[in-house]
Structures are given as structure tokens and as C-alpha cells.
Amino acid sequence: MKKLILANWKMQLSFKESEKLARNYQAKIKNSVFEVGVLPDFSALEIVGRNLPTKLFKLGAQDLAPYLKGAYTGEVSALSLKQLGVKYVLIGHSERRQEFREKSSLLRLKVQAALEAGLVPVLCIGENASQKKAGKTASVLRRQLEEVLFGLRIEKDNALVVAYEPLWAIGSGQALKAAAAEAIQVMIKGVLANLVGRFPRVIYGGSVSSKNAADFLEWPNIDGLLVGGASLEAAEFKKIISA
Ligand code: 13P
């Protein structure tokens, strides 16, 4: 499997700005040895999809509804995302866990909805600064994985992605050292092997930029990157996916 680099645009851009950035990507980025995904907000999925060459870029969403259909005002179904050409969908990003109080029981339903619709869930996990300080990183990550994935059937390795994003590294400019990320990814893979009997890609996120991307990507167990701020400028993102 190729390493996977995902651009999470979060809610940083308006519809028009998203369209413009997609056009900039298209103009500036011609190839990559990696699999690359772009994750705009819901409103911009279609226009971004239309402006990016599908050979090079996969489309991704930042969230989805826990159910496929029904009276759930304000939600967006995995079925619609699939029809829009979406492949990857973030689930349980720390911003959703913190700002919107999303709990493992809800995230589990979202993973199930994504799998049922044929999307690839990108389950986000990560410890906060005080958990890290208390030496609880491994137990926190294990619990986050177990609570969401226990007993779920994952058909093949590439039907799931796990994104490890230490909360204190997100948007802080303080990325985890690549060697430390490698060790944690190995631990995560051990948990996943026991839990779902698969070896999904485990990617790293948190203050990734063109300055450190290559350091991460040279490690064998860092299967890709989840990039926030540094994906909002085409030239910078180009450097990352050319690392
Ligand atoms: P930054 O790359 O801006 O730190 O954001 C990371 C992130 O949360 C990606 O999902």
C-alpha cells in the first residue's frame, strides 16, 4: 500500500476559497509517489472534486452522520458522500471530540455507517498534554481504539485508516519527533492486529509541514500524514507530497 497523505482543510475556507485552493492545487501539483486525499468542508466537496484530477487526488470528508438515512436534521449521510465521490472520511477528529463532545459510542456508529456505505473511515486518536505528562499515552490510545472498533468486522487492511494526532501537537507548531511517532505507530499496529486482525495504515498528524514531512515519511511504520494548516497553501502542500 502506498503511504497516504490527507489534507484536512477543516473549516478554514469558505466555499469560494475552497474552489480557489482546489484550482491552485490543480495548477501546481502534477504528481506524487503517495496517495493523496483532499478533505474540504461538506459544502465544497462537489466543486473541489470537480476541480482536482481524480487520478492524483482522492476526495475525503471531515465527518459524517452516524446513520445512513432518516429524520436527522442537519446531518450528512455516508450514502451522499459516496455519491459525491468521497473515499475517505475522518471520524473522531479531536476537534469533534472536544468541541462537539463526540464520544466513542457515537464514533462507533459513524465507523459502521462509513463501512456500510463503502467509505474508508479514518479514525482519529490522540492523547492530550496532561495524559502524555502522566505517561498514559499508550493506555489512552488503546482505550480509544478498543471503544470504537471492538467486534467490528474490517474486511481488509485498506478498509480502515487510523490517524494518530497528539492533541498538543495540533496547530501548535510542536510536532512529535518522528522517531517517537514511529514507536507509537508500532504500538498502535499491535493493538489493531489483536483488535480487528488487520494491518490498516496508521498515519501521523500534528504540525506537519514541508520542514518535517520527509522525516516522518522515511519511517517504515508511519504510513502517511494528516496535514492541517500546511495544506492551505498549494506550494507548501506540494512540497509535503513531494517529500
Ligand atoms: P495542523 O497540521 O494544523 O497541526 O492540524 C493537524 C490536524 O488536526 C489535521 O487533522
The verdict on whether 165 is a catalytic residue reads: yes
Instruction: List the domain boundaries for the chain.
Output: 4-241
Q: Give pLDDT, residue 1.
A: 93
Confidence band (pLDDT; 50, 70, 90) for 54? confident
User: In the predicted model, is pLDDT for residue 185 greater than 90?
Assistant: yes
Distance from residue 228's CA to the centre of ligand 1 (Å) = 4
Give me the pLDDT at residue 243, please: 79
Q: What is the mean pLDDT of the chain?
A: 97
| Spatial separation of the C-alpha atoms in residues 8 and 230, rounded to whole Å | 9
Number of the ligand 1 atom closest to the C-alpha atom of 172? 4
Query: CATH homologous superfamily for 4-241?
Result: Aldolase class I (3.20.20.70)
| CB-side neighbour CA atoms (13 Å) of 155 | 9
pLDDT band at 126 (very low <50, low <70, confident <90, very high): very high
pLDDT digits (tens, 9 = 90+) for 20-38: 999 999 999 999 999 999 9
- pLDDT at residue 84, rounded to an integer: 97
Note if the pTM is more than 0.95. Answer: yes
Please, which residues have CB within 8 angstroms of residue 225's CB and are 6 or more apart in sequence? 3, 4, 5, 6, 203, 204, 205, 208, 213, 216, 217, 240
Tens of pLDDT, residues 68-100: 999 999 999 999 999 999 999 999 999 999 999
Half-sphere exposure of 201 (CA within 13 A, CB side): 24
Express as a percent the part of the chain with pLDDT over 70: 100
Catalytic residue among 35, 95, 102, 165: 165
Question: What local confidence, expressed as pLDDT, does residue 225 receive?
Answer: 98
- In three-state form (DSSP H/G/I as H, E/B as E, the rest C), the secondary structure along 10-35 is CCCCCHHHHHHHHHHHHHHCCCCCCE
* Cα 71 to middle of ligand 1, angstroms: 32
